[in-house]
Copies of this chain bind each other. A is one copy, B any other.
């Protein structure tokens, strides 16, 4: 477990510095969790008690519309954070599903603990501030891509940006992430 916590520490220290003392305080606020492929991290209607840092594995966050169609909000793998941020923040029942596309391991942080370490250790507040800012920027770019680009160029763009992801994820899920039908995506390669 220490080696896994060490990865998390490195993740923090890519952005801010922590003393050993601070880190020992911080790390005590995380819980470990491990799930197999197809198991759920978050489900619609269930409490969302944590946000998750992914030690290893791959998950998808998605919602299901009235017609039963899946719409993928996010893929998240090693070194990513994932949750139903909205439900988590407001401590409300989940509004999306998150499940594992591969066997995965997580460090779990509750809202209470997050606020605790943020207000206790300013560097942690800055860490999450900067992380959250990067996330915001990424989402803005995704919105722009949805507004300005055709389905095909969004696909090319993703191929460039996250080539690794494409290899780990079935194309029908990529299609659902891009907002395009499986069949249409399949006609792009050609």
Contact = CB atoms under 8 A, between A and B. Distances in A.
Nearest to A142: B143
Given A86-B140, A132-B133, A146-B147, 11 more contacts: A63-B148, A71-B144, A71-B147, A73-B147, A85-B137, A86-B137, A118-B129, A132-B132, A132-B135, A135-B136, A139-B140
A89 interface: yes
Interface in A55-82: 63, 65, 69, 71-74
Interface stretch (A23-31, A37-45, A120-128, A155-163): A120-128
Interface of A: 63, 65, 69, 71-74, 85-86, 89, 118-119, 122, 125-126, 128-129, 132-137, 139-144, 146-148, 179
Given A132-B136, A135-B136, A136-B135, A73 B143 contact: yes
A71 B148 contact: yes
A72 B143 CA distance: 10
A47 B146 CA distance: 26
